[in-house]
Amino acid sequence: MRQTDPLPGREIAEPALPPMTMADALPLDSQGIMPLDGDRLDFKPQAVTGHRSRLPSLDPTASPGLDRRTDDRLRRGRLGIQGRIDLHGMTQSQAHAALNSFILRGWHEQRRMVLVITGKGSGGQGAGILRQVVPRWLNESPLRPLVLAIQRAQPKDGGDGALYVLLKKRR
């Protein structure tokens, strides 16, 4: 900007400041999905003892709290995925902290449908540890009050190694 003299009786206006951005903001990918970096998680897990939710248990094979149309769209993977987290390669404690942070952040950001990728596991018994414990974690505090339904993902989204998680609307 070149130097100018103000009109008599006027002051030089300060230039408009550029819009502030968050230093750690991540751009959405081409599908409008927020990427999640495991290093950016700030949730610190705390032991919850004796606290059981009064809400009915979530089951990946049934969604009793949903209307038929929404349940059908959830089962078929036709609700737009608004966020995803891949728990592959994490320990149980890392995965638990990451899942809690991801679900809480997604609910606060008013996301409705997220994908949780657990992997199928490499054990000989058919199911990996994370694949077994993630539905249980979603049924426990602090996540259960935020989750409306869970469903096994379609093959295109990870099949048996992933879950669709439908979050409740934030009120």
Q: Average of pLDDT values for 25-36?
A: 58
Q: What is the pLDDT of residue 150?
A: 92
Q: What is the pLDDT of residue 25?
A: 55
For the domain bounded by 57-167, which CATH number is listed?
3.30.1370.110
φ/ψ region of 12 (left if φ > 0, alpha if ψ in -120 to 50, else beta) reads beta
Listed by start position, the domains of the chain span 57-167
Give the pLDDT confidence of 97-155 residue by residue, as tens digits: 999 999 999 999 999 999 999 988 776 565 689 999 999 999 998 999 999 999 999 99
Q: What is the pLDDT of residue 80?
A: 92
Beta strands in the chain (DSSP E): 84-86, 113-117, 147-152, 162-167
The pair of structure tokens assigned to 153 is 């993902």
Question: Could you tell me which residue, 18 or 67, shows the higher pLDDT?
Answer: 67
Radius of gyration of the chain (CA): 22
Residue 167, judged by CB atoms within 10 A of its CB (0-12, 13-18, 19+), counts as buried
The pair of structure tokens assigned to 12 is 């030089």
66: confidence class by pLDDT, cuts 50, 70, 90: confident
Question: Does residue 48 surpass a pLDDT of 60?
Answer: no
Close Cβ partners of 33 (under 8 Å, ≥ 6 residues apart): 81, 82, 83, 84
- What interhelical angle do 92-108 and 129-138 show, nearest 10? 40
Q: What is the pLDDT of residue 134?
A: 94
Max distance between CA atoms of the chain, in angstroms, equals 85
